[in-house]
Structure 1
Amino acid sequence: MSSRARLTEDEITAALAGLPQWTRDGDTIVRTADARDFPAAIRVVVAVAEQAEALDHHPDIDIRWRTLRFALSTHSAGGLTTLDLTLAARIDTALSAETA
């Protein structure tokens, strides 16, 4: 299966069990986290940007001081794909070094 193929409901449910910080919002998965401070939040964004470029898959990112909100969906597939789940795991890794 292509990494850009839309996942089934069962595949999404199983995958989200391994990503407990992420919640589903329709065809999007979302995570909000607080970094230690604003510079730490920016370091997370830079790390995520590098991972996003490597995957050629880019999240929606909202920064409010030290609070970060990430939203992932594959618009071309009309829903969630393996790319979203892969990037979610990489975002978790980036956050682990900088969260409060």
Structure 2
Amino acid sequence: MADHIDARALREAELPDWRLLVQALHARFDTPSYAEGLTLLAAIGVVADELDHHPDLDLRYGHLNVKLSSHDVGGVTDRDLRLARRISELAREAGATPRPELTQTLELGLDTADWARIRPFWKAVLGGADNARLPDEVRDLGGSLPTLWFQEAEEHDAPRQRWHPDIHVPADVAEARIAAALDAGGTLVSAEHAPSFTVLADADGNKVCVCTSEGRSE
């Protein structure tokens, strides 16, 4: 098994439906209908079980997004190439149209002079996980949140942020999430609007709101 397939290896594999984005293969297939998209999803599930390698599947009205990576090595391997080829075959058989130009993913980069100091806070407040290959990242293994990574920067005063993340969690989870973030080096900025949202900050002063549906009118 070849580890860590790069963009050149992907081109050589001749998989035109797929693009390499952030250590994973991504594809999008436009489907004739929602029901036919669901049929394609089920067919992919059968093949995934046969190969014992399981993609992330996101079915929307009119299209199916597919993400492939080998979590044990934190990147793309030959296993992903084999499954990608089979998925493309299934998509053609289902009459789905590949739209690789529409694939995209989002990461958040946070400037810091000391990522090791603030990383535990962000791991706690986002409920994230480690990446053994890239220790300066916080990942959501469930795939709901974008990856957060830390960009080396010069020491600076507390930033005047032009934006900040809002992490929405169930109301019965918020108290524990806030406590974990504070234990990991964070500070409480404001609980004035809790439980609707509570403002925290990491040791660099970067703010985040832990939000729930409680106390909101919408």
TM class by shorter-chain length? 0.7 to 0.9
Distance in 1 (CA, whole Å) between partners of 2:64 and 2:9 is: 26
Give the aligned residue type for 2:12. Answer: A
Tell me the alpha carbon deviations over residues 40-72 of structure 1, each in whole angstroms, 9 at most, x when there is no partner. 101101110011001100000101112100000
Distance in 1 (CA, whole Å) between partners of 2:5 and 2:29 is: 27
8 Å CA contact 1:12–1:80 kept in 2: the answer is no
Consecutive unaligned residues in structure 1, runs of 5 or more: none
Give the aligned residue type for 1:42. Answer: L
8 Å CA contact 1:40–1:66 kept in 2: the answer is no
2:68 to 67, 72, 75: 72
Residues 24, 42 of structure 1: alpha-carbon distance in 2 compared, 3 angstrom cutoff: same
8 Å CA contact 1:19–1:89 kept in 2: the answer is yes
Distance in 2 (CA, whole Å) between partners of 1:12 and 1:97 is: 23
Distance in 2 (CA, whole Å) between partners of 1:14 and 1:79 is: 17
Is the radius of gyration larger for structure 1 or structure 2?
2
Aligned length in residues? 95
* Off by >6 Å, runs of 4+ in structure 1: none
CA drift of 1:11 comes to: 3.1
Consecutive unaligned residues in structure 2, runs of 5 or more: 98-218
CA drift of 1:8 comes to: 4.7
2:18 to 19, 22, 26: 22
1:6 matches 2:3: yes
Residues 29, 14 of structure 1: alpha-carbon distance in 2 compared, 3 angstrom cutoff: same
Identity of aligned residues (%): 31
Q: Give the TM-score normalised by the residue count of structure 1.
A: 0.86
Question: Comparing both structures, which one devotes a greater share of its residues to helix?
Answer: 1
Give the aligned residue type for 2:4. Answer: L
Residues 91, 76 of structure 1: alpha-carbon distance in 2 compared, 3 angstrom cutoff: same
Q: CA RMSD in A?
A: 1.5
For the residue of structure 1 that corresponds to 2:4, the secondary structure is coil
Q: Give the TM-score normalised by the residue count of structure 2.
A: 0.41
8 Å CA contact 2:70–2:80 kept in 1: the answer is yes
Give the aligned residue type for 1:52. Answer: A
Give the aligned residue type for 1:11. Answer: A
2:54 to 45, 54, 58: 58
